[in-house]
């Protein structure tokens, strides 16, 4: 397995691979993937839902590929909400997420300079987001069977992220 990563924007034909990657991580994202309360979230990761977001101009998507295989994806909603960040299990804690985040940040700032970026972080991902300058703004939450921590990147932390 090569450590060389290529980053690019997602294309409509990437929907099947993006859905497969997201669905492969459900056991890491959900305390109980079979919980009926998670049905809407699981449905939001199917190929049709991913294809819909790829066609929606309010979302932008970047992919990380290794030897042509999808190993990571990041989606922004609008210019300020990190909507999804999924990294293949074998590629986690290897800097792929950070590379995707920096690419998305760079691409976003060409078009707009938000005062704040937000993310609803999976609890296991909180340390990574904290390293990137995000800070928790509320206690951990559970909604529709999904645990998350609302986080923001703003002010001086945003300036540091840009350098």
Q: What does the domain layout of the chain look like in residue ranges?
A: 6-162
Angle formed at CA 22 by CA 21 and CA 28, multiple of 5 degrees: 110
pLDDT over threshold 70, residue 159: no
The span from the CA of 14 to the CA of 137, in Å, is 33
Q: How far is CA 101 from CA 20, 97, 141, in A?
A: 21, 6, 23
pLDDT over threshold 70, residue 34: yes
Across the chain, mean pLDDT equals 91
Q: According to the CATH classification, is domain 6-162 in 3.40.630.30?
A: yes
Predicted local distance difference test score (pLDDT) of residue 45: 96
**pLDDT class for 1, splitting at 50, 70, 90?**
very low
Predicted local distance difference test score (pLDDT) of residue 99: 96
* % of the chain exceeding 90 in pLDDT: 77
**pLDDT class for 114, splitting at 50, 70, 90?**
confident
Low-confidence winner among 21-25, 30-34, 88-92, 150-154 (lowest mean pLDDT): 30-34
Nearby residues of 127 by Cβ (< 8 Å), 6 or more positions away: none
pLDDT over threshold 70, residue 157: no
Q: What is the mean pLDDT of residues 146-161?
A: 80
pLDDT tens-digit profile of 144-153?
A: 889 999 999 9
Contact 18/61 with Cβ under 8 angstroms? yes
The dihedral over CA atoms of 83, 28, 42, 82, expressed in degrees to the nearest 10, equals 0
The span from the CA of 117 to the CA of 103, in Å, is 14
Angle formed at CA 93 by CA 24 and CA 69, multiple of 5 degrees: 50
pTM above 0.75, yes or no: yes
């Amino acid at each position: 397995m090569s450590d060389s990563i290529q980053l690019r924007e997602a294309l409509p034909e990437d929907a099947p691979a993006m859905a497969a990657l997201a669905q492969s991580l459900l056991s890491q994202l959900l305390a109980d993937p079979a919980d009926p309360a998670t049905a809407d979230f699981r449905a939001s990761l199917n190929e049709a839902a991913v294809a819909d977001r790829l066609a929606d101009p309010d979302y932008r998507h970047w992919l990380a590929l290794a030897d042509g295989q999808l190993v990571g994806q990041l989606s922004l909603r609008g210019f300020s909400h990190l909507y999804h960040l999924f990294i293949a299990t074998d590629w986690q804690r290897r800097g792929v997420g950070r590379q995707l985040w920096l690419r998305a940040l760079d691409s976003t700032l060409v078009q707009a300079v938000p005062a704040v970026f937000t993310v609803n972080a999976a609890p296991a991902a909180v340390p990574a987001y904290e390293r990137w300058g995000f800070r928790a703004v509320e206690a951990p939450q559970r909604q529709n069977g999904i645990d998350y921590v609302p986080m923001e990147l703003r002010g001086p932390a945003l300036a540091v992220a840009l350098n």
